[in-house]
Chains A and B, each alone.
Chain A
Amino acid sequence: MNRRIGNLFIVLAVGLLGLIAMTTYWQVVARSSLEARQSNVRLVYRDLAIDRGSIVSSDGVTLAESKPGTLDGRTVYLRDYPTGGLAAQLVGYSSLLAGRAGLERSLDPELTGSTGDLAGVINSFDRLKGDTVRGDDVILRLNAAAQKVAMDELTKLGVRGSVVVLDPSNGGILVMASTPTFDPNTGLEQALSDPGSPLLNRATQGLYPPGSTFKVVTAASALDAGLVTPETNFPGPSCIDSGGQKLCNFRDRAYGPHSFGYALVHSINTTFAEVGADLGKDQLEATMRGFGFFSRFPWDYPPEQSLPSGIFNRRGNLIDPSAPIDVPRIAIGQERLLATPLQMAEVAAAVANGGQIVQPEPVQEVRAPDGSVVRRPSPVYLGRAMTTETAATLRELMKQVVDEGTGGAAAVAGLDVAGKTGTAETGTAGKNDAWFIGFAPAESSRFAFAVLVEDVDGTGGDVAAPIAAAVLRALTAQTT
């Protein structure tokens, strides 16, 4: 019987040793591949161990910060957004539930201290040791007071829309508002399925027909090509025939003979359609490229949240360069031309900036936990959209738009505002996308802006220009 007892022991011993072998497999062989699995909740907890840096506005308002809590005896950091929906689309979110978006996503390496430089490598050792890693703080160019005015103005009207204000000298994003908004602390789950798409950053992801604001681009193209001067004369019928279809002025108004400059100030469609036809497809598209159309701005923001503007086909993709387009209608900002508010703010900034296109820049500086400055972005010029002379000419004409043209409602006491209105047909009768783009002061500009309001009865001059004025007042009150 003892031999059989020995045999049984050997069988059971082999089984127990098999347990050790399998445990070794999980803990040694398969460990790293298991750690990399997205569904491993331990990854989430590991992220919570990082004391993610704060995001603060240039005027010192905390937009995102980490608050310590306890999980299984260790300190963890949960994200809190003290200003709720104030700049929710720009700042984005870092959530266990929904992942990351906005600056929380694009600045993640700095906020978590996991950049590729020496500090990031040291942090990765701390992480292995289980020590808390403190990420860098990011100070934005955003002006929270002006952002609040922009959000309030849009919310007050109960509209979907967006306000973008750039610093034309360095591309700094001073305001980037988008409505409807959401509270990243509590409203994220609901926002994911909200039909009003509050998660959408309308400033960078919203594509709208730019309407008459695009006449600035057409004018730049024609002036640069030497096709017109501000004094060039045009007839002023109420409608013209374009490609077999009637193309009319706003409310079919007839103007009589006038100069090209007058046509921009009073937004005369027939004149710009004629200019567009003379420019031709290649010339106009070349100018558009110079302004940044047809490609994403290469800025510090998740690429899929920053769409290129341009001419789109029926399937919603940018058209082929060889595809035929209705140039006269593109020239007045209609047809299949769509632009983001950020793109139109860049158009205004280029005029204000002597023709240069500067890259949008959300960050003022990145600070290490000890307060030292890690990074302070300098302006990046992406190229020239027009000559300095053309920019100067347009600046003068756009000033007249506010002084005596369609943009009177944007006037701000003590501030020289220049701009261009736009009222784009949306396809729904009586509903327009109302635009106002511009810059201020007209000389040595500090603010270049675009205001867009979706689906309203009024015009750009009625609806969008007053919002621009309110935001400009807030900005000048802050900075003077």
Chain B
Amino acid sequence: MPDRGFLRLPARNRELALIALALLIATTGFAAVQLARAQEFAASPLIAAAFFAGAYLIAHLVVRITLPDADPYVLPITAVLTALGLIEIYRIDATLARDQGLWIVLGLVLFVGVIVAFRDIRRLETLRYTCGAVAVGLLLATIVLGSEVNGARLWIRVAGLQIQPGEFAKILLVIFLAGYLRERREVLAAPARKVLGIGVPALRHSLPLLIIAGASLVLLVAMNDLGSSLLFYVIALAMLYIATGRLLFVGLGAGLFALGAAAALQITPRVQTRIDGWLQPWADEQAQCCYQITQSIYTIADGGVLGAGFGRGLILNSGGGTIIPYAETDFIYSVIANELGLVGATAVILLYLLLAWRGFRIATTADDGFSKLLAAGLATAVAFQVFVIVGGVIRLLPLTGLTLPFVSYGGSSVTANFAIAGLLLCISQRANRERA
């Protein structure tokens, strides 16, 4: 295991060793749940663990062949995160875990597809406007065809499946912005004229950015969800900052969004409820505003420093449902904090920090603007999503309907995040090979 000599190992061998470690964690976790809840479950989980291991080993082999110089940490991090999520979902409901296992395998298939298709990441740059158009199309489809779940309009039904197009639109938007900003960053950074002593770029160059700002607010109202629109907007601002270095844009953008959001809140009662629950959760714990968040906090606090242990927390009620509604999706972090305690919850956040660090490191080592912007944008997308959803369930921020990447139950979320992992590996392959 990791020692002084570990970093001198070839990248792919490091990756394999860490994946093996992740699989060890997965097997231990499944066994622990099985032991804690023996009277309820059958012997299938070890088969599931073996299937999980097989899928990851195949993905590793494909990386070994196609991207030999790629970052060796991204894939093992996703392995630990998906394993933790799968174990807790299994602990909540074995049927949901079977689905989630399928999503993980599908996610790895998409991951393999991405690294085979975009092994040369520059091919993606040529597709930037297509990506932008598809992203807008997906979001429009969600608004027009979408069905409301728990008050938010984030899903569309296709062939009996609930799909969350926003998860994919997010990636396509980052690709579009990376291409667009690399192309225009000089003109955006160099002001064409001064208004009130502030340099502003020519309207035709900044128009797309204003469109993004407006569109995010439209999404807030149309989807009835603060989380998604905030996420899109922050990604755009972060990439704009990296491309132009103009904090003024970021400040103006943030102010614009805050004003717009404050106005939009007046017509979105669900978001208002969430704000009430954030500010005054103890006022009426049984009310719609506050039940989820107060139960989440009780569940987290109950875990203490060391937690109850895998499968040993109190998560389900007497009816067999979860005490916190949507525990397997939005509130999976609360379940982890309950069963694994502060130690486990901290480990999960540090894993995301590590993943973000690898993403930003890939961005700094890449030598072309598109790759830098793409890697930084994707890393921001993952890290900020974690910040918003975990911040929501621990009452640091208002609660929103985002998933915890790789951990929450949900096909769209899992597969989209694997696509992000694939793109990061493709960028790092090019950067590392050229440096070598």
Q: How far is it, in angstroms, between the C-alpha of A286 and the C-alpha of B372 when the chains are bound?
A: 96
Contact: B376 with A26, CB < 8 Å? no
In the complex, the answer to whether A5 meets B363 with C-beta atoms within 8 Å is yes
Closest to A69 in B: B318
- Say if the beta carbon of A413 comes within 8 Å of chain B: no
The answer to whether A16 and B352 have CB atoms under 8 Å apart is: yes
A330: min CB distance to chain B, Å: 50
B300 touches A27 (CB 8 A): yes
A26–B396 alpha-carbon span in the complex (Å)? 11
Binding site for A on B (CB under 8 A): 36-37, 39-40, 238, 241-243, 245, 285, 294-295, 297-298, 300-305, 308, 311-312, 314-318, 323, 337, 341-342, 345-346, 349-350, 352-353, 356-357, 360, 363-364, 369, 372, 376, 379-380, 383-384, 386-387, 390-391, 394-396
Within the complex, the shortest CB–CB distance from A196 to chain B, in Å, comes to: 30
B189 to chain A, nearest CB (A): 11
CA distance A39 to B297 in the complex (A): 12
Name A42's contact: one of B245, B302, B369, B384 (CB within 8 Å). Answer: B302
Given A12-B384, A71-B317, A72-B316: A2 touches B364 (CB 8 Å cut-off): yes
Contact of A121 with B by CB under 8 A: no
A6 with B391: CB separation less than 8 A: no
Could you pull out 28 A-B pairs where Cβ atoms are within 8 angstroms? A1-B372, A5-B372, A8-B242, A8-B380, A9-B379, A12-B383, A15-B387, A15-B391, A16-B352, A19-B387, A19-B390, A20-B350, A22-B391, A22-B396, A23-B394, A27-B305, A28-B305, A31-B301, A39-B294, A40-B298, A41-B298, A42-B298, A42-B302, A71-B316, A72-B317, A73-B311, A73-B316, A130-B308
Q: Which residues on the B side are within 8 Å of A73 (C-beta)?
A: 36-37, 39-40, 311-312, 316
Q: In the complex, what residues of A have CB within 8 A of residue B396's CB?
A: 18-19, 22
Does A119 sit at the interface, judged by CB under 8 A?
no
Bound: A19/B301 CA distance, A: 14
Chain A residues near B311: list those with CB within 8 A. 73
Output the least CB separation between A96 and chain B (Å).
Answer: 10
- Chain A residues near B315 (CB-CB < 8 A): 72
Q: Which residues of B contact A2 (CB under 8 A)?
A: 363-364, 372
What total of chain A residues lie within 8 Å of the partner, measured CB to CB? 39
B231 to chain A, nearest CB (A): 13
Q: Point out the residue from B305, B314, B391 that lies within 8 Å of A45, measured CB to CB.
A: B314
Q: How far is the CA of A5 from the CA of B357 in the complex (A)?
A: 10
- Cβ of A296 to closest chain B Cβ, rounded Å: 36
Q: Which residues of A contact B305 (CB under 8 A)?
A: 27-28
A75 to chain B, nearest CB (A): 10
Contacts of A130 in B (CB 8 A): 308, 312
Closest chain A CB from B8 CB (angstroms): 26
Residues of B within 8 A of A186 (CB): none
Is the Cβ of A16 less than 8 Å from the Cβ of B394? no
Please determine whether A8 and B376 come into contact, CB atoms closer than 8 angstroms. yes
> Which A residues lie within 8 Å of B295 (CB)?
41
CB pair A12 B356 closer than 8 Å: yes
By a CB distance below 8 angstroms, the chain B residues around A23 are: 300, 337, 342, 345-346, 349, 394
Known: A23-B337, A73-B40. A35 touches B301 (CB 8 A): yes
Tell whether, in the assembled complex, residue A1 and residue B301 are in contact, meaning their CB atoms are under 8 Å apart.
no
By the criterion CB–CB under 8 Å, are B356 and A71 in contact? no
Task: Please measure, in the bound complex, the distance between the C-alpha atom of A37 and the C-alpha atom of B242, giving whole angstroms.
Answer: 47
